[in-house]
A = this chain, B = another copy of it.
Amino acid sequence: MAPGVLIQNEKPDGHAISKNNVGDARSLVEAEKRLHPIVLKTFRLLIADLCQQFKGGHPGGAIGMAAIGVALWKYVMRYAPHTPDFFNRDRFILSNGHTCLFQYTFLHLTGYKAMTFDQLKSYHSERPDALCPGHPEIEHEGIEVTTGPLGQGVANAVGLAMATKHLAATFNRPGFDIVSNHTWCMIGDACLQEGVALEAISLAGHFRLNNLTIIYDNNQITCDGTVDLTNTENVNEKMKACGWNVVDIEDGNFDIIGIVNALENAKQSDKPTFINVRTVIGLGSKVAGTAVAHGAAFGPEDVANMKRANGFDPEAHFVIGDEVKSFFEGLPARGQGYVSEWDNLLSRYSEAHPELASRFRKRMTGEIDPVWRDLIPKPGAFPQKPTPTRASNGLCLNPIAKDVDSFMVGTADLSPSVHMSWPGMVDFQHPDLRPNCGINGDYTGRYIHYGVREHAMCAIANGLAAFAPDTIVPVTSSFFMFYLYAAPAVRMGALQRLHVIHAATHDSIGMGEDGPTHQPIELAALYRAMPNLLFFRPGDSEETAGAWTAAIEARGTPSIISTSRHAVPQLQGTRREGVARGAYVLQENERAAVTLLGVGAELSHAVDVAALLKDRGVEARVVSFPCQRLFGAQPKAYQRDVLRRHHAPAVVLEPYAPNGWERYADAAACVTRFGHSLPGKAAYKYFGFDAESLTEKVLRYLDMVKEDELLKHEFVEL
C-alpha cells in the first residue's frame, strides 16, 4: 500500500495544512469494500470472545463502533504503529473509555508491537502487567490520554487540538507544515451529558478548532435504558449553535464508505466537526440495542449463536482469519512512510529555517529553556512591602511565561484577580476573532481565556500537556475554591503524570467578603491526599519562588500553588530551598516550649504568635510548612530535626479543616465549620486567627497538656 501523498493546501486564513491524499483513501475504501463484512464480523466476534473469557467487561459499545474503527484506523487516521510517538501523528481519544476493547483490538490489528495477541487477551485478567486495563491508560503504546470518567476525553481532545493549532501557528512556514495532525475524539451518549464536555464543546466552537472531530457513537443507550429517559434535546442543533459543523451517518453499523467520506470532509471544515453516527449497541447479540449489552458479557450461548449466525465456528475463539490479517498488515509500513516523509520535511525545514527548527526540536523533546531559572527573581530581589502571594505568583511566573515559549497560561475568567499576565502577551484565539473589548489574538498566543469553565480549563490543560511531554507546560488559574469544580480534571492530570501547574488564589478566610461559598476550609485536605500532586501554600514572595521552582522542576507531577488574595509581609528567613524540602525551621529556639507550624497566607501569624508568646514568657520555634508531600519525602532524620516533637509539642496554625496535620502536629488552631462573609481582617478575628487569639490558644493548650497527660497523645483542636 502506498503511503498517502503529502499535499500542501493554503487555507484562506494563511495557515497551511497538510493532509492525506483524500482520493487515495476514498478510492481504497471502495476497492476494498468486499472485505469489509468479514473484517466487521471478525472484529465483533473477537470483542464478544474477549468479554466472555473472564465473564465481564463492556462489549456492546465496542461492537457497535466497529465500522467507525475500520474507517479510522484503516483509512483516515495518520499514525505509525511502529513509531507510536511519531510527533505529527493524529491523536485519537476514546472519551467513552469503557469501550476500551475497541481501541485495544485495533491497536492489535494495526500492528502496535506491545499489543500482542496475548496482551489483548489480558483484558479483565489477573495479570498485573496487562496492557488492557478496564479503561485506556496513557502509559501504554498508542494511548494518548487516560479516559474513563466521562466527558474528560472531550476536553482533553480540545486541548490536543489547541496544541496542534498553537504549534502549527508558531512553527509552520509556507511549504513546511511540520505540525498538521488532526484530533479524533470518540464519544458515547453519556459524554454529551457531562458538564465538562459541554464546557469544552462550547470553547472549541469559539476557537474554531477545525482540526478536531468528534465522532458520536449514537446508540441511544446508557446504563438505565434508552437515552430518551434522560435526554431528548436536539443534539445536532445544539452542536451547530455551539459553532460546530454537523454531519449525520445513518448506518453507522456497516457504512464504512460513508464514514470515511464524513471523516475526510471533516478535515476540510472551517469549524470543528461533529459526526453523529447511528449504531446499534451489541449488534448481533441477543441483547442488541438494549442497556444489557453495555456492561456485561453476553454469555457463552449467545456468543456461540453470534458465531453461527455469522458463519463462524461456535467452538473457535479469538479467530482472526488470514484475509483480515492481510487487510491490516500494511499499516505499520504505511505509518513508517508517514514518519519518513515527516522526517524529510523536518530536515528540509531545518535547512530553510535553522533557528526556528532548533527551537522546534527543543520543544519536541520537551526541553524547557533553562533560562527560566534566571528569570525567577533572586532571593532579596522581591519588593519588601507586604504583597499578596497571588501577586508574587505573577512576579515569579510572568517573566518566565514572557520569554519561555513552553508555557501556555490561562484563566477561568479571573485575569484581573490572578496576576498572571505579562507585557506583550498574545491571546490564544482564532485570528479572525474581533472581540468587542478589542483584545485580539491568534493561534500563536499563549494566554488562554477559558471562560468561566474551571473544569474544562483543567481538563483541556491535561490535553495540552498530553500532546508530548513538556512540549507545552500549561498553567491554569482561578480562585482556590473553584479548583473543587476542576478536581476531577486535576486528578486525571495527577494520575497521568501530566506536568500542569495550577495557580490558585484567594485561598484563605482572609479573602474576606465573598464569604463561605468562596472560603476554602476542607479543600486542601483533598489535594494533600491526592497521589502524585504537589500542593503548596507559600508564605511570602520568596516561598512563592520556591513553589514555582519546585513545580517547574516536577516533570511528571502536577502542582497547585495556592496563594492569598490579601497582602502578607515578606518574612525574615524564608527560603526557597526550604520550600523544596516541604518544611523547614524558620526560627530556631533551643529553649522552645512549643513549635508553631505556620502555613501559607498565615505563616506570618505564626511569627507574630512566637513574638507574643515570648512576651508572655514562653519560647517558641517556628516551622514554615508549605508542602506536606515534599516534606513527607525527606529523610526521617531531616523530618525529626525540623519537627523536634520529642522536645516540644507542635501546634499548626491554619484556618482550614486540620485533617492530616495530625501527622506533624499535636494540636491545631483550625476551622472546622464553613467560613463567614466579613472583610479579611475581621474574618480572621471572627475565627480567632488574629495573633492575640492564637497566642491565647497556644497558651491554653500548653496548660491543658499539663493537666491531662493523655492529651499529649491526642490531637487537640484549639
A contact residues vs B (CB 8 Å cutoff): 54, 56-57, 97-98, 124-126, 128, 130, 133-135, 137, 146-150, 189-191, 193-199, 202-203, 205-206, 220, 222-226, 228-238, 240-243, 290-291, 295, 411, 413-417, 427, 429, 433, 435-437, 439, 449-453, 455-456, 481-482, 484-485, 487-488, 491-492, 494-495, 512-518, 521-523, 525-526, 528-532, 640, 645-646, 657, 659-660, 662-663, 672-674, 676-679, 682, 686, 710, 713-715
Contact = CB atoms under 8 A, between A and B. Distances in A.
A682 B126 contact: yes
Contact of A529 (B56, B241, B522): B522
Contact of A229 (B198, B439, B528): B439
Contacts of A710: 640, 646
A640 B452 CA distance: 48
Contact of A515 (B137, B232, B427): B137
Interface-centre pick from A413, A495, A640 (highest chain B CB count, 10 A): A413
A166 to B, nearest CB: 17
A229 B449 CA distance: 7
Contacts of A295: 416
Contact of A195 (B240, B455, B495): B455
A126 B678 contact: yes
28 contacts: A124-B679, A128-B678, A128-B686, A133-B515, A135-B677, A193-B413, A194-B453, A195-B197, A195-B456, A196-B485, A202-B231, A206-B231, A206-B233, A220-B436, A223-B413, A223-B416, A223-B417, A226-B435, A229-B435, A229-B451, A230-B413, A232-B433, A484-B487, A526-B529, A531-B673, A646-B710, A659-B659, A713-B713
Given A659-B659, A663-B662, A203 B230 contact: yes
> For the complex formed by this chain, how many copies does it contain in all?
2
A426 to B, nearest CB: 13
B193 A452 contact: yes
Nearest to A660: B659
A516 B496 CA distance: 10
Contacts of A674: 494-495, 531-532
Interface residues of A, dominant DSSP = loop
Contact of A525 (B128, B240, B525): B525
B242 A238 contact: yes
B659 A525 contact: yes
Contact of A435 (B228, B240, B449, B481): B228
A128 to B, nearest CB: 6
A659 B529 contact: yes
A123 to B, nearest CB: 8
A223 B414 contact: yes
Contacts of A676: 128, 133
A577 to B, nearest CB: 24
Given A149-B517, A150-B452, 7 more contacts: A149-B482, A193-B199, A194-B195, A194-B199, A224-B449, A521-B529, A659-B663
B126 A518 contact: no
A162 to B, nearest CB: 13
Contacts of A529: 521-522, 525-526, 657, 659
A241 to B, nearest CB: 4
A243 B234 CA distance: 8
A66 to B, nearest CB: 22
Contacts of A197: 195
B660 A525 contact: yes
Nearest to A490: B484
The 3 closest A-B pairs by CB, nearest first: A195-B195, A133-B677, A230-B451
A530 B675 CA distance: 12
Nearest to A453: B193
A518 B243 CA distance: 33
A206 to B, nearest CB: 5
A149 B147 CA distance: 27
A134 B223 contact: no
A402 B415 CA distance: 51
A672 B660 CA distance: 13
A199 B202 contact: no
Contacts of A205: 232-233
B193 A195 contact: no
A456 B196 CA distance: 12
Given A128-B686, A134-B677, A225-B439, A515 B484 contact: no
A246 to B, nearest CB: 11
B662 A147 contact: no
